[in-house]
Chains A and B, each alone.
Chain A
Amino acid sequence: MENKTAEKREIVKELDLAFARLIDRLKVLVKSVSPDQLYRRPPSVTFGENILRSAAILEQTFGGLTTNLWDDPFEWTLPETLSSQDRIIEYLAEVDATRERAFCCFSDDALTKYVSSPAGEFVLLSVLLDALVRSSDYHGRAAATVKIYSDESMVRFII
């Protein structure tokens, strides 16, 4: 019986791991920059904003799926509010907690069921994959910004 239950969460476990890894990567990125690089312009969308957008997508999705409230985290993820690396890391820990709450209730069977989101009714799996793709995209942009910063310092070093 236990095996049967475990089998039913195989896909869910893989998805959960993918989200957990993404949040870990966001944390590592945040720790990798210096405080002045967090919201430095250019680029027009800063490193920190990309990190916050990536995390906000996850929070909105997991919050929506667990509480049926799909509030946009825009208001509490402003750079003014999350102004330091420590605060961003704290916020990422909160996002991670919402991930845990959401995934503890999912089963593989539930992945094919419809859920209501602000954009309409979709299969749970598609909602999760959409969140993973969109969030990963912002993570990628943040990583690219870090690359720009490191290239800049390399050029300065050479000159």
Chain B
Amino acid sequence: MSIKRSSAVFAILVCTFFLTACPSQTNVAKINADPARYRGKEVAIAGRVTDSYGFMGAGGYEIDDGSGKIWIATTRGVPSRGAFVGAKGYVRSGLTFSGRTFGTVVEETERHVKGK
């Protein structure tokens, strides 16, 4: 009985950890359609880089995931156009960053480039 109870508690803890720690995998269209819902939330997006700008490592790049386009603000250098990127970050509104003003933008916390 105690083993069952401790397994149940363990399962709840594991689920809680994964549900709170992992960013929601979503698509750009959903974010752009309802930015208020996603504001301040961590999201994960994957797509191709269609535009970018940067200076001294700080800048932004635009990802197209097939459903729409969104800008990602970064301080770790920008990937080149055409690269396939998976990015995690927090959705922000009305952010001015590195000389540009964004409507809806994802502030990058983590990035994976395909093939790296």
Docked pose: A143 CA to B73 CA in angstroms:
41
Give chain A residues whose Cβ lies under 8 Å from the Cβ of B48.
none
A71 interfacial contact with B, CB 8 Å: yes
Chain A's interface: helix, strand, loop or mixed, by majority?
mixed
For residue B93, which residues in chain A have a CB less than 8 angstroms away from its CB? 116, 120-121
Contact with A along B62-77 (1 / 0, CB 8 A): 0000000111000000
Contact, CB under 8 Å: A117 / B103: yes
Does A114 have its Cβ within 8 Å of any Cβ on chain B?
A: yes
B36 contact set on A, CB distance < 8 A: 114, 121
A65–B32 Cα distance when bound, in Å, is 11
Q: Is the interface of B mostly helix, strand, loop or mixed?
A: strand
Given the known inter-chain contacts A68-B69, A68-B71, A69-B71, please indicate yes or no for A117 contacting B94, CB distance below 8 A.
yes
Q: Are A116 and B94 in contact (CB under 8 A)?
A: yes
| A interface bracket (residues with beta carbon within 8 Å of B) | 10 to 19
Given known contacts A68-B69, A68-B71, A121-B36, A115 and B94 CB-to-CB distance under 8 angstroms = no
The interface residues of chain B lying within 8 Å CB-to-CB of A114 are 34-36
A70 within 8 Å of B (CB atoms): yes
Interface string of B24-39 (1 = CB under 8 A from A): 0000000011111001
In the bound complex, CA of A72 to CA of B100 (Å)? 9
Instruction: Tell me if A118 counts as interface (CB < 8 A to partner B).
Output: yes
Contact indicator A118/B94 (Cβ below 8 Å)? yes
B10 to chain A minimum Cβ distance, whole angstroms, is: 41
CA distance A64 to B70 in the complex (A): 12
User: How many angstroms from the CA of A67 to the CA of B71 in the assembled complex?
Assistant: 9
A121 contacts B96, C-beta separation under 8 Å: no
* B100 close to A69 (CB less than 8 A): yes
B positions within 8 Å CB-CB of A? 32-36, 39, 69-71, 93-94, 96, 100-105
Known: A69-B101, A114-B36, A118-B94. 14 other contacts (CB 8 A): A65-B103, A68-B32, A68-B69, A68-B71, A68-B104, A69-B100, A69-B102, A70-B103, A113-B34, A116-B94, A116-B102, A117-B94, A118-B101, A121-B35
